Amino acid sequence: MSTSTATARPFRLSNRRLATAVVLGGLALVAWVATADWMSGMGMGDRLTVGSFGFFVGLWVVMMSAMMFPSVWPSVSMYGLVARRRPPTGARTLVRSTSFVLGYLASWTIFGVAAFALLALARRAGLATLSDTAFARYVIAPVAIAAAAYQVVPFKQACLQHCRGPLSFFLDHWRDGTRGAFAMGARHGAYCVGCCWMLMVVLLAVGVMSITWMAIVSLAIAVEKLAPQRWSRFASGVLTAGLVALALVAIARPSWLPGLGGGGGMTEMEG
């Protein structure tokens, strides 16, 4: 009896991890489709036009769901595993896991507000009037170089370790209950923002309304966070090299950048 239970437990846990990945992957797919539909249904404005505050923040939350859910599923799965092994707190694990995800999105929503302000300030500074070539050389290239430099900053590496090692995160920051799950999700999201915020600034620069650039940035984030531990430094190095290459292309061959010159470079839709 005990033997069968021992063999069944890993199988059930494996199924739960798979279910978490499937659910978050499905939600991410829905968010991708919704984002693409939202973008295709709106007219593209001038570069740096941010539209209304409500429109931008709403779209930002959907975008973050699309981009981040594939890479955050190990943390959500680990939360469910730890929660099931803790004393019952009244709320079902599914409810608490949902609260954790909502807290995670809350942190990215706060960053979205900052992104809205950054785009508005950039437009007020006159960056929207630059030609495509000048914009690539004097905005995209410096942002990409700054993002490459940020890759080796200790704070970035510390945040990345929290994202890559969710078990240690929960051991250090565990809180019971639904509110505790939301607080942990928000804290974990804050570490994720600390890890990825410069990549999001790159996305704002190259084309936040571009599905192509969204896919490139989300793939880079997923590879850096989900690569096996023995490949983690290599994955971060490849991302750093990619950012440097982006800067060089922006300086030498701006026309090679997807969307630049076609209305997609750092362009927002009218709300």
**Which pLDDT tens digit goes with each residue over 17-37?**
667 667 777 778 888 888 777
Predicted pLDDT at 89:
62
Percent of the chain with pLDDT over 70: 81
Are 202 and 147 a contacting pair, CB within 8 Å?
A: yes
Under the banding of pLDDT at 50, 70 and 90, the label for residue 264 is very low
Average pLDDT over residues 80-98: 77
- Are 54 and 142 spatial neighbours (Cβ–Cβ below 8 Å)? no
User: Are the CB atoms for 193 and 107 separated by under 8 Å?
Assistant: yes
CA distance 262 to 102: 35
pTM: 0.83
pLDDT for position 198 = 96
CA pseudo-torsion sign 151, 154, 101, 186: negative
Type and span of the H or E element at 268: strand 267-269
- The 8-class DSSP code of residue 140 comes to I
Residue identified by tokens 């594939």 is 70
